[in-house]
Structure 1
Amino acid sequence: MSLASAEPASARISALPLDTHRIAAERFGNDGNWYVDNIPFWDSSDPRLDEVYYYRWKIVRAHQRDLGPKGFITTEFLDDVGWQREPYASLNDATGFHLYEARWLRDRRYADDYINYLYEDGGNDRHFSEAIADAVWARYLVDGDRAAAIRHLSAMRHLYGAWDDHFDFSKGLYWIEPLLDATEYTISSIDASGGKDGFTGGQSFRPSINSYMAANARAIAAIAALAGDGAVAADYEARSEALRRPMLAALWSPSLGHFVDRFKVDNAFVHYWAPIRGRELVGYLPWTFGLVSGSDYRDAWAHLLDRRELAGAAGLRTVEPSYPFYMRQFRYDKATGRPECQWNGPAWPFQTTQVLQGLANYLRQDRHGRVASADDWFRLFRQYAALHYQDGRLDLEEDYDPDTGRPIVGLERSHHYFHSGFDDLLITTVAGLVPQSGNKLVVDPLVPSAGSGRLRWFALQNLPYKGRLVSIVWDQDGRHYQRGAGLRVWLDGRPVARRGELGRLEVGIMPRPLPAIARPVDLAVQLVRNAYPLPSASSNAAPEALHDAVDGRIWFFPELANGWTSAANGQEQWYALELGREQRIGSAALAFFANGGIVAPDEVRLERWAAGQWVAVATARTVLANGITQLRFSPVRTNKVRLVMAKPIGKPVRLVELKLFD
C-alpha cells in the first residue's frame, strides 16, 4: 500500500495518545513549559531511545545562545573555546546538524535567527567546510516559509563562489586540509607528515567538501527556482551535476570499493592525485546528500557492517584498524595531559550522524538490496544511542573508543557536545516523516517490522510540518495505545490515514499560513566582557562568574557550572546590572540552578534605581529551580536594576541567567 486513503468514519479515533504535559514534567521538571511549547513528543517500546530523544532536545535547548538584538544562534560547545567566532561563541562546522534539528521546533525563531546570523552577520565564516545552504533548504521543506528560504539567496551565491579558492579547475573538484574539514588527523594528514603528526596539512580532494558543495549548489538551485529565478536555478543545478560526476568517478577506489581522498599536496611522503591507502567513514558522504543513485556503488556498505573494517563493537570507526596509525594518539591537551581530538579511528557522533543519514537514503532507493537492510540501520542507530550514556548517565561527549564506547577526549569543554544530530534521524527515519517540496505528507518508517529488534509501538505527536501538526502512531497489535492496530497518521489532531503494517503512507496536505515570529529582545545580554550592561554583585565578584549570568546562555546540566554563584554566608544576596543608558523594562525572566548544596532562593525582588535609591518593581514568592521564573510588571524606565535574593541561611544560590525585556 503506497497511497493512503482517508480513515473511514467508523475507524476515527481523534484523541492523540500522549499526555505531553505529564511527559514534560517527568522528563524536564520545572523547565517543562519550554518543551511543551516547542518539541514533538515521542514514546516507544524502547526506553533507551526515549531517554536519548528527550536528552537530545535538552542539548538543543542548552545550546541556544541569545545574542540580544541579533537574536538566537546555536553553539557547538556549551561554554567558550579558543577557536570560536568572537564574541558570539559560534562555529560553523556543525551548523547543518543544528538546523536539521531545530527545523522541528514549533517556535521558528531559533532556526530563523540562526540563519539570519549566518548570512547577514558573518556567522558562515568558512572557518570549516559546510553544507549550510543545504540545511536552509531542508528547513524550508519542513516549514514551507518561502520568504525565509529565499531571503539570503544572494549571500549563498557569494559564499559558494568564495570557495573557488579551494577549487582545482583542472580536476573539477574541491580540496581542503582535513583540519579545516573539522577532521584533524585523518589518513591524508597523517601520511602527508610521514606519520609524525597530522593536525595540519594533508590537503586533499575529499568526499566531504565535494559532497557539501554539490549539495549546496543543488539547494541554491532549488531556492532560486522558488524565487522565480530560472537562470540562476539552471546554473546551480548544472554546477551541482558538474561536481557530482567527477567526484563519483575520481574519488571512487575500485580496489577498496569505497570513496576515498586523493592528495592535493605533493611532498616526500605523498604525491598529488594519488589516492589514500585506506577506507574512512567520510567515504559515505555522497549518500548523505543524495548524490548517489539507486544501487550504484552499494558494495561500499559492506565495509560499514564488517567488524574487521569500519564496524566497531560500540561505534563506527572513522578509519579501519588495518591503517598503520589507527588509534595512535598524537595530540594531548596541554593543561590536563588528556587525549585531544583525532579522526584516525575513534567513533565520532558527527560522522555517525552523516553515515546513518546516508544509509537511510541508500535504503530508501534500494530497500531490498543485498548489502544492508533496515535491520542494520536500526541496530546502528541503537548503537549510536548507547554512546550517549556514561555509566548510566546521559552526557554526550566528543569522540569515543569504537570498541568500548568510552569517551576519549573527556575534557571539561566536552560535556553535552552539540556536534551531531539524533532527533532529526529519529523523526525522519524511525517515525519516517520524509519532508517533501510539494503539498504532500509522506510517512515511511525505516525500522524492522519483525524480530527481536523491532519496535512494537511508537508515537510521535504534534510535529510541525507546513503550518500543520502531524502525529504518527505505530501499534503492532493495537493494545498499547488503544487507537487501533497498525500505522496511523493524524493531521491537526484528526486521523487521516492508516495501514496494517509498517510501510509508506502518502497523504495530500494543504499548507497553512505561518504565524509571525515573535522576537522579544533581551536587554541584559553582555556579549563583550567589560562592556554594558555591567554586572556587579553582593559576593563572588569574579568577572567570569558575573558575566555568566548575562551571557545569553541557559542550561541546567550539573557537569558544567553556568552562572553566578553567591556566597553561602547567610546574608541577603543581590546581583545588579548597570545598563549604560536609561531603558524601558516591562518583564524579566530568571533562571536558577539547584543541585545538592546549591539552592534556588525562597523569594526574589527586582528593583530599579530611581532618585538615588533602589525601588522595588516586582516580587516573586515562588521561584523555580532549574526552570524559568517570569516577572511581569508595569513598564518602568531606568539605567540600573538589581535582583535581590532571599535564601535559606548558609546555602549558596546560582543565578544561571537574568533576562530583561521591554
Structure 2
Amino acid sequence: MEDTSMRSPSRRRRSSRALAALCGSVLSISLLSVGPGASPALAADDPNAVALDKDAILAANQLDEREWYKDNIPFLDTPDDDIDEVYYYRWSTFKRALRYTVPGTGYVSTEYDVPIGYAGNPYTALPDATGYHLLDGRWLHNRDYAGDYLDFWLRGAGNSGVRNFSEWITSAAYQRYLVTGDAAQIKSALPHLIALYKRWDSNFTNDITVNGTASTSDLYHQTPLSDATEYTETSMHSSNWFSGGRGYRPTINAYMFSAAQAISKIATMNGDTATANEYDAKAAQLKAAVQNSLWDPQRNFFMQVYNTDATNGTLKQTRTTWREAMGFAPWAFNLPDAQYSSAWKYLTDSKRFKAPFGPTTLERVHDFEAEQATRNRANLFNSSTASNGSYVGQIDFDDSHVTFTVDAPGAGTYPVTVHYANGTTSTSTHKLIVNDDTANPITVSYAPTGAWQKFSESQSVTVQVPMKAGANTLKFAKGTGFAELDRITANPYFNYQAIPAVQKRDDANCCHWNGPSWPYQTSQILTGLANLLQDYPAQNFVTKADYQTMLAQFADLQHKDGKPYVAEAANGDTGEWIYDGFNFSEHYNHSSFNDLVLSGLLGIKPQANNTLVLKPLVPSGWDYFAVESLPYHGHTYSIRWDRDGSHYGKGSGLQIFQDGQRIHQSSTIGATTTVNVATPVTPAQPTRLMNVAANPLTAEQDWLGRAITQPYPKAFASYTNTVSNGPHCHSGQTCKPTTFDAPLRATDGWIRYDKIPDDRWTNSGSPNATDHLGVDLGAPRKINEVKFYTYDDGVNIRVPASYTVQYLNNGSWVNVPSQTKSPATPVANNANEVTFPTITTSQFRVVFTPQAGKFVGVTELESWYPETPQVKISNRNSGLELGIAGSSIAPGGAVQQQTADNTANHWWKIVPAENGYYKIFNTNSGRVLGINGGSTTAGATALQWGDTLTADHLWSVVDAGGGYAKLVNKKSGLVLGIDGMSKTSGAQALQWDDNGTADHLWRIVAEDGSTPFTS
C-alpha cells in the first residue's frame, strides 16, 4: 500500500498525477539521447537497468520540448505524487530561467522571467540564488548550463558586480565538482575562487564587540537587504527598514566559511599546501567566531550582531534577541558543532517557525524573561521548570510590579501571552499598565494552576495590548490574589505590513521577510536539516519524519489554481502566494527543490573519491522509488528501491546500475550505503556552438525603459500584434500597462511557452497571407542553421502550416538552398530546426504560412554556428604572443607581448559581437581586451577588463593579407600595436594610428592550426 506520510494534511491535492511510470516494454539506456556536453549512456546489457517510461512521465506532466528533458534530467518516481509533480515542474522552471546571452558568455540562470534593473550586470543574473542554480544544475547531463553560469561569475560579465548580494558561489562550485568529478575544471577555477573570496575583504572586521564585551572574533558584515532579506525585524529596529541593520550575520559568515573550506580542498588537489592551510585556518576561525559571538546561549540560536553603522543607533555592537530563519543557515554548510543542534527544536514549534505550508522567516513570538525585566518589591527565584531557569514571584504589595519593554513597529493592538503559576484555588489578577497609562489598566486573569514554582507551556493567558510605535513598557502590578511570572511572549513585528489585505498581484507591499514563508529560505533550512540528519550525531530535536513533512509541505505550497507554481513568497498559514507580481513573479527561480529531493530525500551524497554514498531520508513505509539517468562522475546511474520486486517487476531490494550494468543489490535500505564506482571520466565535448542571433540587451533596455545602445543583432517582423497582454508589475512598484509580442522578445535568450509571463512575438491580427520574423545581424556573418521555437496557445496562435527560411543576398530575399527541416512538419511549443550549407549574409528571416484563420507565434529565434576555437595572437614584428602581465586574472591586467608558451594566458577567444565587431576574451582570466579608460588617444595602453559592454571592448578583425590581420578598436578607430615597436618580451600593447608598421600586424592561429580570420 502507498505510504502517504509525506502528504501535507493542510490542503488536499487536486487530482493525482496518473502517471504511467512503468515501462510497457524493456527500454535500453542507449535510446536516451544526450545534448551538447552530455555524457553518453552506454548500452544496457542488463535488461533490468531501466524501469521508467520517460515519454509517459513527460506527457503526464505536460512538459513542452520534451526531448530537452530526456537529454538532460534525472528521472524520478516515488509513491508521493506531489513530490514527483513538483520535481518535474521545477525542472521546467530551471529550464525557462536559462538564458542564452551572447557568444563568449553563453548561458546564465535568471531569477525572474523578465529583466530587472538592479541586477548590476547586463543579463538580469543575480548572485544571491546562484548557489541554488548551481546545486540543481549540477544534476543535468549538459554541463554547459551550470558551467557557463559559473564562468559568468568567476571570469565573465558578472565578475565585477558579484558583491551586490551575498553569495555562496564557491561552495556550490565545489559541490558541483563532486557530481561532475571534473577535477581539471575545478582546479583551473581556483585562482578565480580565491579572487572572489578576497572581494569580500572590505566587509571583514577584526575583534568585534558583542554586548559591550570585546572579542577575538573576526567576522563578515552585511546589510539584511544585501543578504537578500529586506524588511526584516533586524532592519525594522534600525533607522532604515528597507536595507539597514547592517551587522555580522550567520548567513554571510556561513557562506564565507564554506568558501574557505572549498578553496582549501581544491588547493590540496593542486598540491598547494600553503594555500590549503591558509584557507583551512580561515574556515576554522570563522567557525569559532560564529559559534562564539553569533550564538545566543540563552535563546539557543544564531543571531546577528549589529556593527557600528550609523543606522544602528544604540543597537551598535549588540546581539539581536529575536530568532530569524537565517539562524538555521550555518547547518546548510555543516558549520556548527553538534552541541548547537538544540536550535532545531524551534523549527517544529508552532509558536516559533512552524507553519502548515513551510517555515516562517521570523519566529511568531519572542520571549521576554521576567527575571530580566525591571522589578520593584518582587523577588527572583530559580526553578527547573521555568524558562531560562528563573521566574519572579512575591508580587504581593501595592507597589510591586514587573515591567517589560516590548518594541513595536507601529501603533496597534498586539497579542501578548503571559506564562505564569497560580498556586491558589481561585483566579488571581494583575493590573497591566501600558506606557504608564494608569487610568486604563488591563486586567490579566490567571486561572489556578495547582502549584507554585512550577511552569508549563499550557500555563498561559493571552491578552490584547495596545502599543505605540517604538518601545513600550508593560508593567504587571498587584491585582487580586497572587501569581508568579515566568515570562511573556510577543512579537509585534511578525508579518507586520507583510500580507496584503487584497491580492492585486501588483507586489506593492513586497518584500517583507518578517514572517512570510519564503522558498529561498525554506530551501536553505531543508538543506541544513538534511545535513543535520545525514552528517551529524543523533539528536532529539528533529527526525527524518520532520524532513519528510517539511518537503511535503514545500511541494504542497508550490501550487496555484490546482497546478504546479512557484512565486516569490507565501502566507505560510494559508499557502496563498502573497508576492506574485503579474508578468513578473511567475515561476520564480529563486530556490531549490530538485537538489533537496536528490541529495536530501533520496540521500545521494556526492563524493570526491570513487564512491557513491546514499543516506536516504525516505519514509520507512515506502515500498518503492527510482531515479534514472542520473549523471555522476561522467557516468550514468540508476538507483531503484522495490521492496519485494512487485512494483517495477525488475528485481527486489535496492539496486544500483552504472552505465547500464548492475553494481549493487541489497535487500534493505540502510542508513548509509557506500558503493565503489568507476573512475571519473570527462565526456567528449562536441564543438561549442554560438547563437549569433541573440541580443538580450534590446529586451533588457526595452523592458526597463532605457535607450537601446546595442541594436544589432536586431529582430524584425512584417507584422506584430498590437494588443497589450496586460500590466507589468515589478516588485514594490505600481503596475504599468505595456504592449508585448515585440520581435525583440524572440531574440532575448529566453525560451518559454507561457501566455503569462509573455516572452514571444506573434502576428496576431495580421491581414497578411504570410508573415516573417527575422534578424538583422548588422554585418555579414556565416550561418548554417536557423532554429525557432513555436508559441502555440491552442486557440488563435497556432503552429504554422508551413514555413521557409530566406536570406538577404545582394539586396534581394531568396530561399536558403538545400534546407533540411527537423521535424519535417512544424511542431507546436517545441524546437523547429533548419540546417543548410554555410552561407554568408547580414540578414535572415523565417516566412510563415499560418493555418487558415489562425496566427503564428515564436518564443525564440536562433542561428547557431560553430564557435571559433581558441587562438594565439602573435605579433609580426616581434614574433611574440599576446598575453597578460603576470598571468593576472584581475581587471586592469596589462596586455603585453610575451615569449611563446602554451599556458592559458596566451590563448584567446574571438567571438562575434554587434555590428560586425568582435570581443576578444583571454582564456585564462575570462576578461576582454580593452583600452585603459576607454581612451581614444594614440598611445593609450591595452588592458583586460570585465565585459561591461563599453565600445572600447569591441574590435574589428581586418584581414591584412599574408596571413596577418589588424585589430581595430571600435571606440577609437586606432589599431593594436606594441609600444615603440619593441621586440622585447613584456613590452606593453597599446593603440596607435594605423601607420603601416609591422607591429600593427597580428597572426591569429587557432588551436587546430587553422587561420579563421585571415586569408
2:762 aligned with 1:565: yes
- Compute the displacement of 1:366 (Å): 4.2
Paired with 2:205 and 2:238, the residues of 1 have a C-alpha distance of 19
Match of 1:7 in 2: none
Paired with 1:408 and 1:275, the residues of 2 have a C-alpha distance of 31
2:544 aligned with 1:374: yes
- Compute the displacement of 1:28 (Å): 4.8
| 1:224-373 superposed matches below 5 A | 224-264=267-307, 265=309, 270-293=314-337, 295-322=338-365, 323-329=491-497, 336=506, 338-366=508-536, 368-373=538-543
Amino acid in the other structure paired with 1:80: P
Match of 1:486 in 2: 653
Q: Which moved more, 1:93-102 or 1:273-282?
A: 273-282
Paired with 1:335 and 1:110, the residues of 2 have a C-alpha distance of 31
- Among 222, 232, 239, the residue aligned to 2:265: 222
Paired with 1:226 and 1:114, the residues of 2 have a C-alpha distance of 23
Amino acid in the other structure paired with 1:476: R
Match of 1:9 in 2: none
2:112 aligned with 1:50: no
The secondary structure found in structure 1 opposite 2:361 is coil
Contact 1:109 1:517 in 2 (8 A): no
Paired with 2:345 and 2:257, the residues of 1 have a C-alpha distance of 25
- Among 212, 235, 245, the residue aligned to 1:202: 245
The secondary structure found in structure 1 opposite 2:578 is coil
Relative to structure 1, the CA distance from residue 29 to residue 53 in structure 2 (aligned partners, 3 Å threshold; closer, same or farther) is closer
- Compute the displacement of 1:338 (Å): 3.6
Relative to structure 1, the CA distance from residue 607 to residue 149 in structure 2 (aligned partners, 3 Å threshold; closer, same or farther) is same
Paired with 2:181 and 2:290, the residues of 1 have a C-alpha distance of 31
Q: Which runs of 5 or more structure 1 residues have no equivalent in the other structure? A: 1-11
- Among 579, 584, 609, the residue aligned to 2:782: 584
- Compute the displacement of 1:285 (Å): 1.0
- Among 60, 74, 77, the residue aligned to 1:40: 74
- Among 182, 189, 204, the residue aligned to 1:152: 189
Amino acid in the other structure paired with 1:627: N
Match of 1:575 in 2: 773
| 1:467-616 superposed matches below 5 A | 467-503=634-670, 504-518=672-686, 519-529=688-698, 530=708, 531-540=711-720, 545-571=742-768, 572-595=770-793, 596-616=795-815
2:358 aligned with 1:189: no
Paired with 1:22 and 1:46, the residues of 2 have a C-alpha distance of 17
Paired with 2:522 and 2:174, the residues of 1 have a C-alpha distance of 22
Relative to structure 1, the CA distance from residue 126 to residue 267 in structure 2 (aligned partners, 3 Å threshold; closer, same or farther) is closer
Instruction: Name the larger-Rg structure.
Output: 2
2:843 aligned with 1:640: yes
Paired with 2:272 and 2:235, the residues of 1 have a C-alpha distance of 41
- Compute the displacement of 1:491 (Å): 1.2
CA offsets 1:230-258 (integer angstroms, 9 cap, x no match): 11111111111111111111111112111
Relative to structure 1, the CA distance from residue 335 to residue 472 in structure 2 (aligned partners, 3 Å threshold; closer, same or farther) is closer
The secondary structure found in structure 1 opposite 2:696 is coil
Amino acid in the other structure paired with 2:355: G
Contact 1:474 1:486 in 2 (8 A): yes
The secondary structure found in structure 1 opposite 2:860 is strand
Please identify which structure carries the higher strand content. Answer: 2
- Compute the displacement of 1:112 (Å): 1.1
CA RMSD across the alignment: 2.0
Contact 2:115 2:123 in 1 (8 A): no
Contact 1:601 1:653 in 2 (8 A): yes
Paired with 1:290 and 1:425, the residues of 2 have a C-alpha distance of 15
CA offsets 1:63-97 (integer angstroms, 9 cap, x no match): 11111311111111111112123421111110000
2:127 aligned with 1:92: yes
Paired with 2:185 and 2:201, the residues of 1 have a C-alpha distance of 27
The secondary structure found in structure 1 opposite 2:630 is strand
CA offsets 1:39-58 (integer angstroms, 9 cap, x no match): 11111111111110100110
The secondary structure found in structure 2 opposite 1:148 is helix
- Among 24, 30, 35, the residue aligned to 2:58: 24
Paired with 2:499 and 2:207, the residues of 1 have a C-alpha distance of 35
Paired with 1:330 and 1:489, the residues of 2 have a C-alpha distance of 47
Report the TM-score when normalising by structure 1: 0.93
- Compute the displacement of 1:334 (Å): 12
Contact 2:72 2:142 in 1 (8 A): yes
Match of 1:134 in 2: 171
Paired with 2:546 and 2:829, the residues of 1 have a C-alpha distance of 39
Paired with 1:49 and 1:162, the residues of 2 have a C-alpha distance of 39
Q: Which runs of 5 or more structure 2 residues have no equivalent in the other structure? A: 1-45, 209-217, 366-490, 699-707, 722-738, 866-1015
Amino acid in the other structure paired with 2:518: W
CA offsets 1:139-169 (integer angstroms, 9 cap, x no match): 1001111121122222221221121211111
Match of 2:615 in 1: 444
Relative to structure 1, the CA distance from residue 121 to residue 267 in structure 2 (aligned partners, 3 Å threshold; closer, same or farther) is closer
Contact 1:570 1:650 in 2 (8 A): no
- Compute the displacement of 1:532 (Å): 0.8
The secondary structure found in structure 1 opposite 2:742 is helix
Paired with 1:459 and 1:284, the residues of 2 have a C-alpha distance of 30
Match of 2:628 in 1: 461
CA offsets 1:530-561 (integer angstroms, 9 cap, x no match): 52112211112879712110011101133211
Amino acid in the other structure paired with 2:581: L
Contact 1:24 1:33 in 2 (8 A): no
Paired with 2:89 and 2:269, the residues of 1 have a C-alpha distance of 36
CA offsets 1:12-65 (integer angstroms, 9 cap, x no match): 763321122332344355511111110111111111111101001101111111
Paired with 2:529 and 2:613, the residues of 1 have a C-alpha distance of 19
- Compute the displacement of 1:337 (Å): 6.4
- Compute the displacement of 1:266 (Å): 5.7
- Compute the displacement of 1:335 (Å): 10
The secondary structure found in structure 2 opposite 1:583 is strand
Amino acid in the other structure paired with 1:532: Y
Paired with 1:520 and 1:268, the residues of 2 have a C-alpha distance of 52
Amino acid in the other structure paired with 1:400: A
Report the TM-score when normalising by structure 2: 0.62
Relative to structure 1, the CA distance from residue 440 to residue 335 in structure 2 (aligned partners, 3 Å threshold; closer, same or farther) is closer
Relative to structure 1, the CA distance from residue 165 to residue 466 in structure 2 (aligned partners, 3 Å threshold; closer, same or farther) is same
Q: How many residues align?
A: 643
Amino acid in the other structure paired with 2:98: Q
- Compute the displacement of 1:496 (Å): 1.4
Contact 1:604 1:619 in 2 (8 A): no
Contact 1:179 1:200 in 2 (8 A): yes
The secondary structure found in structure 1 opposite 2:199 is helix
Match of 2:595 in 1: 424
- Compute the displacement of 1:515 (Å): 2.0
- Compute the displacement of 1:477 (Å): 2.9
Match of 1:143 in 2: 180
The secondary structure found in structure 1 opposite 2:690 is coil
Contact 2:507 2:580 in 1 (8 A): no
- Compute the displacement of 1:349 (Å): 0.6
